[in-house]
Amino acid sequence: MNNSTVDANDAKRFRIFADADVELSLVIRYAIFGLACVTYFSFMLVCNQRVQMPDAPIQDFFLRALEDATYWLPGLFFLAPLAVHDFIKSCGRVSRPVVRLRNEMKLLIDRKSERPIEVRPGEAWPEVLTHYNHIRGELLRLRREVSEYEAMLGNAAISELSQPVVSSENESSAKADSPGGRATINDPAIDSNAFAPATN
C-alpha cells in the first residue's frame, strides 16, 4: 500500500464529521438551543436589574447585568467547547459504524468488497458489524459456488458442441455394411434373375 492511500485513509478516519448531513445539522441545532438559553439568561438579568432599580438609566441595567454575568459567563466559555467536543465524539461513536456499513454494503453489491468491516473499540453497534461480516462471508461463498457451477455448465456445453456430428448418409451406409444390415441389389451374393418376372 502506497503512502497516498495511507494518507487518504487517515484523512477519512480523522475527519470531524463522519456523516456531515446528520452530525452537522445536530451541532447547528444544539448551538441554536445554547444561544437561545444564553439570550434568555441575559434578558432575565436585565429584567432583574430593572426591578431592583426602576429609576436608573437603561445603560446601568446592562452594566449591572454584565457584572452579574461575570460569575457564569467564563464558565460558559470554558465548558461550551468541551460540551461541543463531547457531543461530536458521541455522535461519531454512533454514526461512523453506520457510515462504514453503508459504504461496505455498496461495495459488496458492486462486487468490489475486499475485506470485512473492522470492529473498532469504543464504537457503537459492534454486533451489527459482526453480523454483517458473517453475512458477507456467506454471500461471497455462494457467489463462488455459483461461479464454479456456471463454469462447469459452460465446459459441458462446449464439450457437447465439439463432438463430431454423423450425417444421415453415413449412418445408412454404416447400417447396410453392418452384419445385421439388409443386403442391397448390388450384392454379388444375390442373383439378379431372382427379381425377373416369372414366365410360363
Measure Cα distances from 12 to 15, 29, 73, 99, 100 in Å: 6, 25, 36, 11, 11
Angle between helix axes 20-52 and 73-109 (nearest 10 degrees) is 160
CA distance 7 to 104: 20
Residue that has been written with the C-alpha cell 453475512 in this structure:
135
Note whether residue 198 is domain-resident: no
Note whether residue 172 is domain-resident: no
Please report the pLDDT score of residue 3 as a whole number: 46
Note whether residue 90 is domain-resident: yes
Note whether residue 187 is domain-resident: no
Cell output for 174:
454404416
Closest alpha carbon to 187 in 171, 196, 200, 176: 176
157-175: pLDDT as tens digits: 777 766 655 554 555 555 5
Note whether residue 10 is domain-resident: no
Cell output for 40:
434568555
Task: Report the phi/psi class of residue 17: left, alpha or beta, with left for phi > 0 and alpha for psi in -120 to 50.
Answer: beta
Residues across the chain: 200
Q: Which domain holds residue 45?
A: 15-154
pTM: 0.55
Note whether residue 28 is domain-resident: yes
Residue that has been written with the C-alpha cell 436608573 in this structure:
56
CA distance 15 to 28: 18
Count of domains forming the chain: 1
14-56: pLDDT as tens digits: 567 777 777 788 888 888 988 898 888 878 877 877 777 777 7
Cell output for 102:
453503508
Note whether residue 7 is domain-resident: no
- Whether residue 13 is predicted with pLDDT greater than 80 in this model: the reply is no
Q: Using CB atoms within 10 A of its CB, is residue 96 exposed (0-12), middle (13-18) or buried (19+)? A: buried
Note whether residue 139 is domain-resident: yes
